[in-house]
């Protein structure tokens, strides 16, 4: 080996870099935001451009209860990960389970609304532009909730098996970031679909 491979031996000052999981999740959130932006733009662009009914004003009902469920699940997951950090596994598991329940309730609410729209109002994805943009945007969000719930469920299973402790709290935080993002997107989707788009 030539001499240049011997590394410089000067004591580096304290060297700490951000946690890669958080950076990667932040990147994923930026990328996902970009996808949602395009769907939101399409929704807003096509508001009122449907050639046939039904229109949002006729058929949409504001899902206040399920919105409260989803948004409060952000609080429960936040406190769950704080309790995990402090090593209180029982409270962590309880709050984590509550998060899953709240998320599932929200998903149930979406399903109920779709069922009503399809069977009572005959609105499907191919009915008109409203149907196309509405089901795509809300469906994209519901897909993200579903993926989030699956991941939360995996952590719950590991937690019940006693495998999630304070040493995993950084990873659990990464998942919590994703869940907060899913909630924040709902605020945008809610505003666009149920407030601006009526």
Partner 1 sequence: MLSDAMAIQTAEATGRPWVETLHEWVTTVDHKRLGILYILFALVFLVIGGIEAVIMRIQLMWPHNNFVSPQFFNRMFTMHGTTMIFFVAMPILFGFANYLVPLMIGARDMAFPRLNAFSFWLTALGGFLLYFSFVGGSGLYGAGNAPDVGWWAYAPLTSRAFSPGHSSDYWTIAVLVSGFGSIGTAINLIATILCMRCPGMTLGRMPLLAWLNLVMSAMVLITITPLSAAQIMLLVDRYLGGHFFDTQAGGSAAIWMHFFWIFGHPEVYILIIPCFAFMSEIIPVFSRKPIFGYPVMVGATVCIGFVSMSVWAHHMFSIGMSSYSNAFFTLTSMVVGVPTGIKIFNWLGTMWGGKLIFRTPMLFCIAFLFQFLIAGLTGIMLAVSPFDWQLTGSYFVVAHFHYVIVGGIIFALFGAFYYWYPKMAGKMLNEPLGKLHFWLFVIGFHLTFDLMHVPGILGMPRRIYTYEPGRGWDTLNLLVTIGTFIQGIAVLVFVANLIYSYFQGPRAGNDPWDAWTLEWSVSSPPPEYNFATIPAVASRRPLWDRKHPEDPDSRYE
Binding site for partner 1 (CB under 8 A): 1-2, 4-10, 12-13, 15, 17-20, 23-24, 27-28, 30-32, 34-35, 37-39, 42, 45-46, 49-51, 125-126, 128-129, 132-133, 136, 140
Specify whether the CB–CB gap between 62 and 101 falls below 8 A. Answer: no
Burial 53-63 (b: 16+ CB within 10 A, else e): ebbbeebbeeb
Alpha helices (H) along 47-88: 56-59, 64-85
User: Closest Cα to residue 175, out of 150, 151, 154?
Assistant: 151
- If the CB atoms of residues 12 and 162 are measured against partner 1, the closer one turns out to be 12
- If the CB atoms of residues 29 and 75 are measured against partner 1, the closer one turns out to be 29
C-alpha dist (Å) from residue 50 to 33, 41, 42, 131, 172: 26, 16, 13, 9, 43
Q: How far is the CB of 188 from partner 1 (least distance, A)?
A: 15
Q: How far is the CB of 55 from partner 1 (least distance, A)?
A: 12
- If the CB atoms of residues 126 and 161 are measured against partner 1, the closer one turns out to be 126
- If the CB atoms of residues 59 and 102 are measured against partner 1, the closer one turns out to be 59
Q: How far is the CB of 23 from partner 1 (least distance, A)?
A: 5
- If the CB atoms of residues 37 and 191 are measured against partner 1, the closer one turns out to be 37
Specify whether the CB–CB gap between 74 and 90 falls below 8 A. Answer: no
Q: How far is the CB of 127 from partner 1 (least distance, A)?
A: 9
């Amino acid at each position: 080996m030539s001499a240049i491979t011997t590394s410089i031996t000067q004591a580096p000052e304290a060297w700490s870099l951000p946690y890669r999981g958080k950076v990667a999740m932040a990147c994923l959130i930026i990328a996902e935001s970009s996808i949602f932006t395009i769907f939101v733009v399409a929704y807003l662009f096509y508001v009122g451009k449907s050639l046939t009914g039904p229109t949002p004003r006729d058929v949409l009902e504001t899902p206040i209860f399920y919105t409260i469920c989803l948004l409060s699940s952000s609080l429960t997951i936040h406190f769950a990960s704080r309790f995990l950090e402090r090593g209180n596994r029982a409270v962590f598991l309880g709050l984590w389970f509550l998060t899953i329940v709240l998320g599932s309730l929200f998903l149930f609410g979406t399903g109920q609304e779709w069922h009503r729209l399809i069977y009572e109002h005959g609105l499907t994805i191919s009915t008109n532009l409203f149907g196309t943009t509405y089901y795509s945007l809300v469906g994209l969000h519901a897909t993200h909730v579903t993926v989030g719930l699956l991941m939360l469920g995996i952590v719950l299973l590991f937690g019940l098996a006693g495998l999630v402790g304070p040493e995993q709290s950084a990873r659990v935080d990464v998942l919590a970031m994703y869940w907060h993002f899913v909630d924040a997107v709902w605020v945008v989707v809610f505003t666009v679909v149920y407030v601006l788009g009526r």
